[in-house]
Amino acid sequence: MSLCTHGVFLDADSIQPDELDLGSLKQAVPDLTFYPHTRLEDAVERIGSAEVVICNKTPMRREVLAAASNLKLITVAATGVNNVDLTAATELGIVVCNARGYSTQSVVQVVFSMILGLMTRLSDYQGAVSFGVWQQSQQFCALDFPFSELHGKRIGIVGYGAIGRAVEQVGEAFGMESLIAERRGVTEVRENRIAFEDVLAQADVLTLHCPFTPETNDLIAEKEIALMKPSALLINAARGGVVNEAALRDALKQGRIGGAGVDVLTNEPPTDGNPLLDPSIPNLIITPHIAWASREARQRLVDRLAENIQAFNAGTPKNVVSL
């Protein structure tokens, strides 16, 4: 197997490379060109004679792959590989790898930032100070927004991979009881799992960490929200399509759910709008798909990409997701 020495990173700005040490990546691919962002119509030209492509979200469709005659390896700068036509890659003999385990701590930190912010009513209390409510109080404190402790609450976890397990550990440190959801629609519930619908009904916090697949599309929609406690919080740091955004908007506006933290939307960036971007929606935190992206996580990602390329060059590909 000849070594991959010529490569392109098609959307390097997605990882803010100027903040990172790229030494491992440049060592793995000596001739590596970085493009800040690549439109679909420019992909073929930019790939050119490259043997390896690094991309985060740039679409790798069949027509792009078919035109890349030298391409041997695609290493995706993410865990999800929805942007790559895996069937076409396999047919064309192109190995596709992803990056795993680099963002666990970062995602968990953002998830609990959302949980704590919503449960403790931080935004409401910050507003009370900003608008002078505390300053006009007759007491030393202003308790206009009752809040609850995480201790003793139940956290429902949908998706029990590395991130789901880490969420469980942090939840237990707060004194929360973990409810690990079984897959929706199965007839047999595994040991240490709880039926999906029962988790919805029992959880004080429901947090999603499952991949986006045809089975998880609209996993949480109107029917599922109706099963949840009116006080429950919903956290989505998985993929936008896992939650029906119009159903969540309506539930928040009508007070049928306690609050939501959302780091992902169905279409990103939401250039054509989104039901959740309505500023009148109460008890909603939206962040622009940043849960994965602490500086430390992005550095680990760079190193994982380099490891994937080095392993491929050594004839022992790792983290392979192609069919």
Active site residues: 239, 268, 289
Burial of 118 (0-12, 13-18, 19+ CB in 10 A): buried
d(CA 185, CA 215): 10
d(CA 199, CA 64): 43
The number of beta carbons lying within 10 Å of the beta carbon of residue 49 is 10
What are the beta bridge partners of residue 33? 8
Provide the pairing of β-strand 154-158 with 73-76.
Answer: unpaired
Buried b (16+ CB within 10 A) or exposed e, 193-208: bbebebbbbbbbbbbb
Rg (alpha carbons) of the chain, rounded to whole number:
22
Give how far the C-alpha of residue 42 lies from the chain's centroid of Cα atoms, to the nearest Å: 27
Question: Could you write out the DSSP letters of every residue in 237-250?
Answer: -S-GGGB-HHHHHH
